[in-house]
Structure 1
Amino acid sequence: MSDSMPEMPKAREQGAEPAPDPAAPAPLGVTRTSTGHAGVDAGLERLADADHLPAEGHTEVYEDVHRGLRDTLTALDNGPTTAPVTAPVPPHDNRS
């Protein structure tokens, strides 16, 4: 080669990993902290699925998480379900 022409990159060695595609999906590295509420934590973990999808696939994950969080909040608004309370029966007087 002459001094006026730049050197061409060498061919990759066989078995070497290809360079990562900058346009490929990549995790954002956002840390998800547990809330202690199983329903909310499940939604947070579901968000990790979007890390490996192209942008077009994020909508489905976000809608799924939103639906789960909405259901969790609705359940909180409805309050706990309890068994019906029965009135105590007064003791029977056997003095007759």
Structure 2
Amino acid sequence: MNDEMPGLADRAAEEPYEPAGPAPLGLDRELTGHAPVDAHLARLAEVDHLPADGHLEVYEDVHRGLRAELTSLDAHPAPRPYDNRS
């Protein structure tokens, strides 16, 4: 017994499959107040206009940028010059 709908295979053969184009996810991005981080996060909007195979490059670039920002928080500021006027 065949569970498929009659004629379904015929219609599928007639209508070639075309994947849907890129579509925005509609996610809101909230500002963090830290300009470099906000700039990296703003790049995520680029994927709304890219096919899925283009997302990875943007995600990896944003990840690298955010990681660099976090790493910079661990960097110790340069020592201040000694002032012996006091």
> TM-score normalized by structure 2?
0.71
Where structure 1 has 5 or more consecutive residues not aligned to the other structure, the ranges are: 1-20, 91-96
Q: Please list every run of at least 4 consecutive aligned residues from structure 1 whose deviation after the TM superposition is greater than 4 angstroms.
A: none
AA partner of residue 51 (structure 1): D
Q: Deviations over 1:21-55 (max 9, x none)?
A: 87000100000000001121011100000100000
Choose between structure 1 and 2 for higher RCO, CA contacts under 8 A separated by at least 6 residues.
Answer: 2
Corresponding position of 2:75:
78
Aligned-pair identity (%):
59
Corresponding position of 2:13:
none
Alignment size in residue pairs: 69
Cα distance in 2 for residues equivalent to 1:30 and 1:73? 24
Higher helix share: 2
Where structure 2 has 5 or more consecutive residues not aligned to the other structure, the ranges are: 1-17
